Amino acid sequence: MTSQVSKTVLRLEAEDVQTLKDGINLKKHPEDGKCYIIYKGKDKMRACRNQCKHQGGLFIEDIEDSRTVRCTKHYWKLNVATMEYVNPPDSFTQDELEVVLSDTDGSLELLELNPPDPWTAEPREAQELHAGEITLTYITHACMELKAGNKRMMFDPWLTGPAFARGWWLLHEPPSDAMDRLSQADLIYISHMHSDHLSYPTLQRLSMKRPDIPIYVGDTSRPVFWYLEKSGVNLTNVNVVPFGVWQNVDELLRFMILMDGVHPELDTCLIVEYKGHMILNTVDCTRPNNGRLPHGVDVMMSDFAGGASGFPMTFHGGKYTESWKADFIKNERKKLLKYKTQLVKSLQPKIYCPFAGYFTEAHPSDRYIKETNIKNSAADLNQSIRKRCPNILTWTPVPGSVLDLALALHDPSSRSAITEPPNGTKIYKDSWDFDLYLEELKASVSAEIFKCKSWIQYYYNWAGFKGYNLVIRVIETEDDFKPLKGGYDYLVDFLDLSFPDERPERDHAFEEIKNRVNVMRHVILNGQLWDDLYIGYNNRMSRDPDTELPLLQLFLIFSFIFLFQFFSTLVLFCFRLYYFILKF
């Protein structure tokens, strides 16, 4: 069986993108002659192959409705704004292509996952399950233990320490035996490199107990374990597997890792099958498997909370008043609840469990974020699903609670299907060992390299991000984002990668970024991602002009940091060598 890949089926250059009209655009590939439909809406673009699902006829624009196309064979109609067939009604939905707009050169690509439904390969009939044969035990955040037969899998173990430098801390108290469970697992799945899923403090403790434990990750173009050697964590059995290929654990248990349609280079999700019974874990994927997922699985799990980025909490000035932020966050929460409810309704799993959202901004210096960044609750999402889909069993887990799949399938109303932890079990954390982890960050502040201002030019030139009409001002600050006495305050012009003393006179986008000095210098010194600054709420930003930009374009400011994935060991060596040369 070949692995699943994401391939470009059509590319439009910037000048062709600019000619796209609002509404329906019919495009043909100049070489193979295949036809595509691109719908340009107010908020987004959608695309699909120009091929009717009925008998493969070509579509033409419907003169009666600017959102629909009509098949030339049997006159079926497709609403391209929704990708639903409206005539005949309630029949099919069209398979979508992912639309990717480049912020660097303005081009557009249509991407397709191939094969689209790899889990249908080598199908297995569902067999009878016995009580206790498949159990799911919730640990904390995105960490779940799956017992299937005599094997145990653990998903995304974040059991200790912070994520995103110092911005995220565990909301739930893991069961007291969580680390023992982790070290005794038969295999571990880690979905992606973000530190609330790939937790090096957790893996450090695991490596001291069982360095050879099998760990599985998807073959993303940005490797999940890019930082492993630099971290000093001794894990010797990391397995990178292709997308869309069944991995056999034993004769009854297998799993498959799938890529995300929006971030195929980064995110993954998982299907586990035991005796023909499927468990789908979409984790943090924005559009898992490009929206094509198995229907009627036994258990579906996904994130739910929202509030997992720096926008808009880390922004200030301009329109970003407290009332604007509150309204934005409220609306985003509503949209996420609606989207997740609709997704679950469309996939019709027998059981749904929201997880991967139990984090908190616990450090006292992040009190503002904690009070502003209001998140959805799992209970609210499950209530919405029960209202729309009363036939689906919902599970709102707490640490240590166990779902017995056989009992749940036999009688969803049975209380014995879900075992709650004993009364008095600690559910929420009320203390965190801040100092243990913040001391490492503080140590970076006094590193030798930062005694010489020329590190700034060296760092950005080495990263090599340029050719973008953007100027940033970076200000090192204390924890309260007040400028650090004696800290660096500098400008970077990414058009030509220069370092002016004043903003240039030409028209340009401008971003002022105030970074906590301990996090900023730790990120630079160790060649880590700027996600620790932005997603970890460790900076404050304002921009001029204050215009609506896609969040992806905002991240372009930090995109050069991804180069560090492959050179993180080199950067520290180069810094030290460069400083040595300057000194002598």
Domains of the chain: 5-114 (2.102.10.10), 132-309+347-419 (3.60.15.10), 435-582 (3.30.1050)
Give the pLDDT score at 547. Answer: 57
Burial degree of 406 (CB within 10 A; 0-12, 13-18, 19+): middle
Q: For residue 570, how many other CB atoms are within 10 A of its CB?
A: 13
Where do the H-state alpha helices sit in 69-217?
178-183, 200-209
Give the pLDDT score at 558. Answer: 46
Contact 511, 541 (CB under 8 A): yes
Tokens found for residue 330: 């409220």
DSSP state of 210: -
Phi, psi values for residue 317, rounded to 5°? 80, 165
* 198: CB partners within 8 A, 6+ apart: 156, 190, 192, 224, 225
Give the pLDDT score at 2. Answer: 64
Strand duo 238-241 + 215-218: pairing: parallel
Tokens found for residue 524: 């630079």
- Taking 50 as the pLDDT cut, the residues of the chain under it are 548-573, 575-584
DSSP state of 312: T
Nearest to 544 by CA among 317, 328, 322, 325: 317
Q: Assign residue 5 a region: left if phi > 0, alpha if psi is -120 to 50, beta otherwise?
A: beta
pTM of structure = 0.83
Assign 3-state DSSP to the chain and report helix, strand, coil percentages, each to 5. 25, 30, 45
* pLDDT, tens digit (0-9, with 9 covering 90-100), for 504-549: 999 998 999 999 999 999 999 888 888 999 999 999 999 887 654 4
Give the pLDDT score at 62. Answer: 87
Taking CA atoms, 582 is separated from 448, 454, 456, 521, 575, in Å, by 12, 9, 14, 19, 11
Distance CA 52, CA 422 (A): 56
Taking CA atoms, 201 is separated from 157, 232, 530, in Å, by 10, 11, 19
